[in-house]
Amino acid sequence: MNSVAHLSLLVERLSEARVLCIGDIILDKFVSGEVERISPEAPIPILTITDETSMLGGAGNVVRNITTLGGQVHFLSVVGNDDAGRTVAGMLDQHAGVQAELITDPTRETAIKTRFLAGNQQILRTDRETVSSISDALVDRIMVSLENEISSIGAVMLSDYGKGVLSNGLLRHVIKMCNDTAVPVIVDPKGTDYTCYRGATLVTPNRKELEQASGMPTKTDADVVAAARHLITNCGIISVLVTRSADGMSLVSAEQTDHLAAEAREVFDVSGAGDTVAAAMSAALSIGIDTKDAAALANSAAGIVVGKFGTATVYTSELIGSLQHQNVSEAEAKVCTDDQTAEHVAGWRRLGLKVGFTNGCFDLLHPGHLSLLNQAKNACDRLIVGLNTDASVKRLKGSERPLQSESARALVLASLASVDAVVLFDDETPLRLIELLLPDVLVKGADYTEDNVIGADVVKGNGGHVVLAGLADGFSTTATIERMNDST
The residues carrying an active-site annotation are 275
> Torsion over CA of 155, 113, 86 and 110, rounded to 10 degrees?
80
- The amino acid that residue 56 corresponds to is L
Edge-to-edge strand order for the sheet containing 111-118? Answer: 45-58, 25-38, 111-118, 121-128
pLDDT of residue 482: 52
Is 2 a residue whose pLDDT tops 70?
no
Q: What percent of the chain has pLDDT over 70?
A: 92
**pTM beyond 0.85, yes or no:** no
DSSP character at residue 487: T
- Measured over the CA atoms of residue 369, residue 370, residue 375 and residue 379, the dihedral's sign is positive
What is the band of 477 on the pLDDT scale with cuts at 50, 70, 90?
A: low
Query: What distance in Å separates the CA atoms of residue 47 and residue 227, rounded to the nearest whole number?
Result: 44
Q: Are 77 and 165 in contact (CB under 8 A)?
A: yes
Q: What is the pLDDT of residue 324?
A: 65
Q: What is the pLDDT of residues 84-95, one digit of tens each?
A: 999 999 999 988
Closest CA to 203 of 180, 171, 247, 181: 171
CB 317 within 8 A of CB 71: no
For residues 45 and 479, the model is more confident at 45
Residue 145 neighbours by CB distance under 10 Å? 15
CB atoms within 10 A of CB 305: 28
User: pLDDT tens digit string along 415-456?
Assistant: 999 999 999 999 989 999 999 999 999 999 988 888 889 999
Distance CA 378, CA 140 (A): 58
Q: Residues 6 or more apart from 168 whose CB is under 8 A from it?
A: 133, 196
CA dihedral angle for residue 480, residue 481, residue 486, residue 488, rounded to 10 degrees: 120
CATH of 336-486, one of 3.40.50.620, 3.55.40.20, 3.40.50.2300, 3.30.2020.30: 3.40.50.620
328: which residues sit within 8 A by CB, 6+ positions away? 321, 322
Residues 380, 381, 385, CA angle at the centre, nearest 5°?
70
Q: What is the mean pLDDT of the chain?
A: 89
- Cβ(191)–Cβ(131) under 8 Å? no
Torsion of CA 21, 291, 286, 146, to 10 degrees: -40
Residue 319: band (very low, low, confident or very high) from pLDDT cuts 50, 70, 90: confident
Q: Higher pLDDT residue, 469 or 323? A: 469
> Rounded to an integer, what distance in angstroms lies between the CA atom of residue 109 and that of residue 100?
18
CATH topology of domain 4-328: UDP-N-acetylmuramoyl-L-alanine:D-glutamate ligase (3.40.1190)
Please determine, for residue 255, whether its predicted confidence score (pLDDT) is greater than 80. yes
Is residue 205 over pLDDT 60? yes
Q: Which amino acid is at 22?
A: I
> pLDDT by residue (tens digit) across 62-81?
999 999 999 999 999 999 99
Cα-based distances in Å from 295 to 86, 130, 240, 300, 337: 35, 33, 11, 9, 26
| Beta-carbon-side half-sphere exposure of residue 315 (alpha carbons within 13 Å) | 14
Domains in the chain: boundaries: 4-328, 336-486
Question: pLDDT class for 327, splitting at 50, 70, 90?
Answer: very low
CA angle centred on 476, ends 427 and 364, rounded to 5°: 65
Average pLDDT over residues 117-145: 94
The sign of the torsion formed by the CA atoms of 83, 89, 93, 95 equals positive
